[in-house]
Structure 1
Amino acid sequence: MRHLAFFASAAVLAFAASAAPAAAEEGMWTYDNFPIAKANQQLGTNIDQGFIDTLRLSSVKFGGCSAGLISGEGLIMTNNHCVATCVANLSTPQKQYAETGFLPQSREEELKCPGATAEILTDISDVTERVNKAAQGLDGQAFTRAKEAEAARIESEACGDDAKIRCQVVSLYRGGQFKLYKFRKYDDVRLAWAPEDRAATFGGDLDNFSFPRFAIDAAFIRAYEDGKPAATPTHFKWNADKPVEGEPIFLSGNPGSTQRLLTQAQLMTIRDVVLPMDQLIASELRGRLIRYSEEGDEQAFIAMDPIVGVENTYKRGRGRMAALIDPSFMAVKADAEADFRRRWQSNRSLSRGQANPWEAMEAIQPVARELYAPMALLEGGTGMGTTSVAGGSNLFSYARTLVRAAQERAKPSGERLAEYSDSRLSGVQSRLFAERPTYPELEQIRLEWWLSKTREWLTVDSPYMAALLGKESPEVLSARLVEGSKLADPAVRRALWEGGLAAIEASDDPMIQYALRVDADARAIRSDWENRVQAPTDKASEQLAAARFAVYGDAVYPDATGTLRLTYGKIEGSDVPGQRFGAFTTFQGLWDRATGAEPFVLTPGLQAAKDRIDPNAVMNMTVSTDTIGGSSGSPVLNAKGEIIGANFDSTVLSQRNAYGYDRNTNRSVIVTTQAVTVALRDVYGLNHLLAELGVQ
């Protein structure tokens, strides 16, 4: 990825210090605070609350992605890369659906995605006063745990034992508000269609985070209830027409995480500590996975999905680092923060007798910088970076979940780690018992990489090394743990779960014993982090949120948190230095771009269908909506509420969107419903799906 200069005026980026009201089409708005009048004024539309409610009830959260209901019988559209894990889990080296596509000719052939859930947000209520009251007068870990315990109680009261509903207390404005989100949950989700991986990722990593694009990055899943397709009378109407440049659109999805409300001091920690570590160790994992994939066809199959994941993470990190080292971008953010501080100081009712929250954040940063590496590597959950414990090893994840769950379930729900409260145990069990393939060689690569990087970053002399490695090398230890573990078998995991702490402590599984061995150090660093970083950060963030509401009112939207948001914009290209393109690509552009050499090779199905496809049909388009990772699969709607596409990517300049939105450069990349219709009809012959969509 090239480092591209940033061309934007201070006026355009005045929002970037995360305090000023949103301008233009900026904003990942919560559904209970969407600016209907403002959107109508800017877009020339006439939407109302009924339109918003229909969008919410037709939008779906699917794992770490977004999706949309498209029929009355539970059919859902998302991205192909969002079902990649499901495709990999359903595949074998002998039957690789990523190579052939998953093309069931009827519903009876749809296959269940192991461990997958689909959720629809049905209700939002404010519980801020109750959560804040629970932690009143407390400090450090007691402050954090009191809020977590109260949130868990609220969730349990709201949902009880109803397996079809999930409740989640969501923190917004970095602790400024707490909302109870209630979801209708479907835990039987089946794959209904997925194209070949090469059709969805045409152009490979070279085209990733760029435009023009020529990708059919779409897939269908279906929600089932009691063994039958779920009844979903509220859904988006399918529109297979050619999109129109300049048309207003709405995009509904679950953007993962933005950091627009962070102070300058916090951003400097991300720039100087978090991103450099994350990027360096991710690049090595990518290298190890690529080397492994080159050993043979089976290895390439096993490593394909992990490589795509780490490459996306690495590219996003590079784009974000480019923003944080861009003097003009950061100067605008600094100016806006200074303006916010002046407004706070001049409002005596806000600042009189109050600690300065910006100074409090500055005081926390030396501790955060010191603790980030051990916290990220041993425990995870910093909320700042992307480093994963054990390198994402499934076996270690199973072991830690079993060990922690056994220990925590012995306590009252309110005294447990938040992720093991009664209201969240069903989700833990669902993930733990799901039948997923485990590849020992991949497991060893991940563990060996994690152990070697942890030793490197924490140093050989770190007190954590005694438990983490003992007298073994990363190579020997990872091999011993993977070869001896039986946790790949769901029946073994279930037996250990049901046996409780006694079964865990008596287990001779080396991965279980290892998780027990390293657990004390991981819990200790988590406790230190909660006391010295998380709790004081939460307190200062609450004060900043109160000041923000007082100064700007509800014209400020919260940072993205992986919860449902609505954004809006228009279909249009881009015309700034380093990023000039029209709004659309067509199948004719695909034929022209196909060279016959990787990664520009047409799939056999596309090649065979070439003469049947209208070359002017639109494949992909760009829109000016405000999106971030997690928005993948987000349905794109016209002003009638009809679905006309799904978000699957953004451009390189848009990666700085984590810290601020610029309408001139921010572009989301969309696969159109016209392209999906063409693919279903002319390439794959899935007429039963077209009939369900109402396409003639």
Structure 2
Amino acid sequence: MTLSFPRPRLLIAVLLLATVLRADDGMWLLTNPPLQDLKAKYGFEPTPAWLEHVQKASVRMNNGGSGSFASADGLVITNHHVASDAIYKLSSTGHNYLEDGYHAKSRAEELKCTDLELNVLMSIEDVTARVNAAVKPDLAPAEANVARRSIMAEIEKESLEQSGLRSDVVTLYQGGQYHLYRYKRYTDVRLVWAPEQQAAFFGGDPDNFEFPRYNLDVTLFRVYENDAPVKVEHYLKWNPAGTTAGELVFITGHPGSTQRLITMAELEYARDIQVPNVMRYLKNREVLLLSYSARSEENARRAKDEVFTIANSRKVYDGRISGLLDPVLIAAKEAEEAALKTFAADHPELGATDAWDKITAAQLVIARQALRHNLLEAYAFNSDLFGKARSLLRAATERALPNGERLREFRDSARTEFELALFSEEPVYEDFEILKIKNYLEYIAMELGAKDPVVQAALGGKAPAVRAAELVTGSKIHDLAFRKKLYAMSPEELAQVDDPMLALARAVDAEARAGRKVIEAQAEVKQQAHARIARVRYAKDGDKVSPDATFTLRLAYGTVKGLQQDGVDIPAYTDIAGTFVRATERNNVPPFNLPATWLAAKDRFKGDTPFNFIHTSYSIGGNSGSPTLNRNGEFVGILFDGNIHSLVWNYAYSDTVARSVSVDVRGILEAMRTVYGADELVAEILGTK
């Protein structure tokens, strides 16, 4: 009888594995969409012209989100929560555009963003053979990593010089393929219209990653070139009729990262080390930010965007750890890996029989280094000032190296993007910076121990509060002219500059670099092993599995579909009337209070207008702002979230109860007309002016 216990679990795992291999779960390259599956299941086959159009109408935001062109005059729509960083940087004590919203009544009133960049994908080229040819099989991991970095930088530089387009070599299938992506860059981006954040994020953290939802999570920008609105050929026409239940829909966006193709050793590392480390850090920051915000309205304004970002990330990782502790998911991944290993053993000519062992060994090395790497490299003392100081310090050193030997962020092809961030004129609030650095000094001491040499170097023999104040008030890194002066210096000249924030960057840089070198060398080992596993996967399954997300443009699709949760049927759509019902149910207490503009417009609304809807399209962080399209390539909504069940999509796909959530085009248009009087923008978008 004991043999019967695993059987239901195995059956569920097999069913989940079957789901994993369905085309619907893919984040597909637009150069390799699942045409046969689309045609067989939905009777639809996108043409090359359809694919090119949606590709060039889609945009990537440099702050980690997606968007799309909405008019021939460069109007771009994205999520409010994607735009919130840019809106925050345009705000001030007297103009709180996050809280109050913004509406430019004329082109002259459109506000230029400080450091927002949009990218439009123009072409993709497979450069796998050239990259692999440059990495000789007898090289040690660290040498192989340098060789790979060097050839990727060389390809990017050549492409940039030849095309004038931003050029990025992207790693796909964990090293199985390398593609060169060329982007048209836009750096003059202006805010046109944004609702109040309370309308965009109605329900706040309690409703985040839930459904039903009632959010106007949208913002409009306009792209300029040579101080005039850009004229674009490819933009998405809006279909004001929206969608119907069961309808096929697509999303074209830039999913940040997924780990669907990782090995069990990597999955266990994520469960036991990576995700818990990140969760501790996020929860520490969230408590700090909420405490700071509660002290005054001005503090709340300064921290609001960061509070949203950290709270959202914390909830994402709560969902991830839940998925990683799900025995059904683990069983499915084990079954998938066992099948690949068996196939590899039966086909030794593929050369992958030891690939999993290589990854396991490399992952053990990474695990030993991970905490220090995150604390010294990834989290950057929770300070924009420290980040800029370290960028200046490293820029001087890296520029002296050949392009291919530099850290990736300092390669020639990335210089424009790097300088845009370095010379951003975003506001700096000394008290806020001091508080964040003080907290981080305490956090790193608790994680590594007060006697750790790097902790002692960071503290400089002072208490955290004293040290933080000294670092911030004594530094001139916040001054743009000073940063530009330092950026022009040689390493020798920079070494003579007496600035406490720069000195802190120097004090920890050697160890931060050393840890990064270890991580990158082991990543190279894993990359080579994954390339061999990719050969096995392709030989076994063909191209039925799309590559993991890499913050590059992908096509996903599904159907508009409700769900059953806890025995309750949840329809696919909410309507605007439901927003007011939800607010009343919660006594209009924040975060369920509606802005005054909505309350004033309540009787003018068409209450049955669809507002938010759910669908089975595969999405992940980075997809926020992705246009939701019908089979005609028309805009019918904008993706802004997933429900709580979708958070496991980072590791595996299932459409039983997991859903993506979009704002309905009908709700957007109704709100723009009824609440905000943005009739001129509606006319531009619908082509009726």
- Residues 286, 310 of structure 2: 8 Å contact kept: yes
SS in 2 for 1:182: strand
Name the structure 1 match of 2:502.
512
Determine the structure 2 residue equivalent to 1:110: 110
Tell me: CA distance 1:7–1:342, structure 2 relative to 1, closer, same or farther (3 Å): closer
How many Å separate the matches in 1 of 2:567 and 2:536? 38
Separation in 1 of the partners of 2:10 and 2:583?
Answer: 32
Name the residue aligned to 1:491.
Answer: 481
1:8 positional shift = 9.6
Which amino acid in structure 1 is aligned with residue 515 of structure 2?
I
The whole-number CA distance in structure 1 between the counterparts of 2:290 and 2:563 is 34
Deviation at 1:506, TM superposition (A): 2.5
Query: Of 364, 369, 372, which residue of structure 2 is paired with 1:371?
Result: 369
1:389 pairs with 2:377: no
1:587 aligned residue: 576
Equivalence map 1:474-623=2 (5 Å): 474-531=464-521, 533-577=522-566, 580-595=569-584, 596-623=588-615
Aligned to 1:554, the other structure's residue is in SS state coil
1:612 CA drift (Å): 1.5
CA gap 1:15/1:118 in 2 versus in 1, 3 angstroms:
farther
2:571 & 2:409 partners in 1: Cα distance? 46
For 1:138-537, what aligned pairs fall within 5 Å after superposition?
138-160=139-161, 165-351=165-351, 355-380=353-378, 388-391=379-382, 393-531=383-521, 533-537=522-526
Instruction: Give the Å deviation of 1:182.
Output: 0.3
Farther-moved stretch of structure 1 (270-279 vs 360-369) = 360-369
Contact 2:168 2:181 in 1 (8 A): yes
1:7–1:576 Cα contact (<8 Å) kept: no
How far apart, CA to CA, are the structure 1 residues paired with 2:569 and 2:331?
Answer: 25
> What is the distance in 2 between the residues matched to 1:521 and 1:208?
38
Q: Which residue of 2 aligns with 1:123?
A: 123
AA at the equivalent of 2:615: V
What is the distance in 1 between the residues matched to 2:401 and 2:337?
44
Task: Give the C-alpha shift of residue 213 in structure 1.
Answer: 0.3
1:53 partnered with 2:45: no
**Retained in 1: the 8 A contact 2:344–2:353?**
no
Deviation (angstroms), 1:235: 0.8
CA distance in 1, matches of 2:493, 2:106: 44
Instruction: Give the aligned residue type for 2:12.
Output: S
Q: CA deviation at 1:7?
A: 13
Provide structure 1 residue ranges, at least 5 long, that are not aligned to the other structure: 1-5, 381-387
Matched, 1:629 2:621: yes
Pair 1:521–1:109, CA change in 2 (3 A) = same
Offset, 1:67: 0.3
Question: For the residues of structure 1 that align with 2:262 and 2:513, how far apart are their CA atoms?
Answer: 27
Q: What is the alpha-carbon distance in structure 1 between the residues aligned to residue 143 and residue 185 of structure 2?
A: 32
Distance 1:302 1:219 in 2: 20
The Cα shift of 1:613 comes to: 1.1
Residue from 632, 638, 641 that aligns with 1:646: 638
Letter in 2 for 1:591: F
Quick check: 1:375–1:526 contact (8 Å CA) kept in 2?
yes
Instruction: Give, in whole Å, the separation in 1 of the partners of 2:358 and 2:232.
Output: 49
2:29 is the counterpart of 1:30: yes
2:92 aligned counterpart, secondary structure: coil
CA distance in 2 between partners of 1:629 and 1:76 (Å): 19
Deviation at 1:446, TM superposition (A): 2.4
Deviations 1:392-415 (A, max 9, x none): x11011101100001111122122
Offset, 1:230:
0.6
The answer to whether residue 9 in structure 2 is matched with residue 9 in structure 1 is: no
Q: Is the 8 A contact 2:159 2:165 kept in 1?
A: no
CA distance, structure 1, for counterparts of residue 158 and residue 167 of structure 2? 9
Question: Is contact 1:626–1:666 with CA below 8 Å preserved after alignment?
Answer: no
- How many Å apart are 1:49 and its aligned residue? 1.9
Deviation at 1:579, TM superposition (A): 7.5
User: Over residues 188-212 of structure 1, what are the superposed CA-to-partner deviations in whole Å (9 max), with x where a residue is unaligned?
Assistant: 1111111000000000101000000
Does structure 2 conserve the Cα–Cα contact (< 8 Å) formed by 1:43 and 1:569?
A: no
Q: Is the CA contact (8 Å cut-off) linking 1:36 and 1:48 kept in structure 2?
A: no
Instruction: Output the CA distance in 2 between the equivalents of 1:130 and 1:467.
Output: 44
> Residues of 2 paired with 1:452 and 1:39: CA distance?
54
Instruction: Please report the RMSD computed on the Cα atoms of aligned residues, expressed in angstroms.
Output: 1.8
| Residue 350 of structure 1: how far off its partner (Å) | 2.1
2-side partners of 1:464 and 1:355: how far apart? 41
Q: Give the secondary structure class of the aligned counterpart of 2:224.
A: strand
Residue 148 of structure 1 aligns to which amino acid in structure 2? R
1:60-139, aligned counterparts within 5 Å?
60-63=59-62, 64-136=64-136, 137-139=138-140
- One-letter identity of the residue aligned with 1:455: A
What is the number of residues matched between the two proteins? Answer: 675
Q: Secondary structure at the match of 1:212?
A: coil
Q: Specify whether residues 578 and 31 from structure 1 end up closer, same or farther in structure 2 by C-alpha distance, changes over 3 A only.
A: farther
Mind listing any 5+ residue stretches in structure 2 that lack a counterpart?
A: 1-8
Kindly tell me: are residues 218 and 53 of structure 1, through their superposed partners in 2, closer, same or farther at Cα, counting changes over 3 Å?
same
| 1:632-691 Cα distance to aligned partner (Å, 9 max, x none) | 000000011110111000011110000000021220010111111112111111122111
2:453 alignment partner, SS class: coil
User: Counterparts of 1:364 and 1:155 in 2: how far apart (Å)?
Assistant: 28
Q: Secondary structure at the match of 1:83?
A: helix
Deviations along 1:265-288, one digit per CA (max 9) or x if unpaired, are 111111111111111121111001
- Aligned residues with identical type, % of pairs: 37
Write the letter of the residue equivalent to 1:561: T
Question: Please, which moves more after superposition, 277-286 or 43-52?
Answer: 43-52
The aligned amino acid for 1:571 is V
- Secondary structure of 1:304's partner? helix
* Letter of the 1:370 counterpart: R
Q: 2: distance between equivalents of 1:470 and 1:8?
A: 58
Q: Give the match for residue 659 of structure 2.
A: 667
Looking at structure 2, the residues matched to 24 and 612 of structure 1 have their Cα atoms a distance apart, in angstroms, of 44
List per-residue Cα deviations over 1:133-171 (Å, max 9, x = no partner): 111131221111111111111011011187x62000000
Distance in 2 of aligned mates of 1:326 and 1:181: 36
TM-score between both structures, scaled by the size of structure 2: 0.95
Structure 2 distance, partners of 1:483, 1:337, is: 54
Shift of 1:365: 2.7
Aligned 8 A contact 2:256 2:549 in 1: yes
Alignment check: 8 A CA contact 2:207 2:213 kept: yes
For residues 7 and 15 of structure 1, the distance between their equivalents in structure 2, rounded to whole angstroms, comes to 12
Offset from partner CA, 1:36-86 (integer Å, 9 cap, x none) = 221132223242221111110111001200001111111111000011011
- Letter of the 2:334 partner, please give it: A
SS at match of 2:372: helix
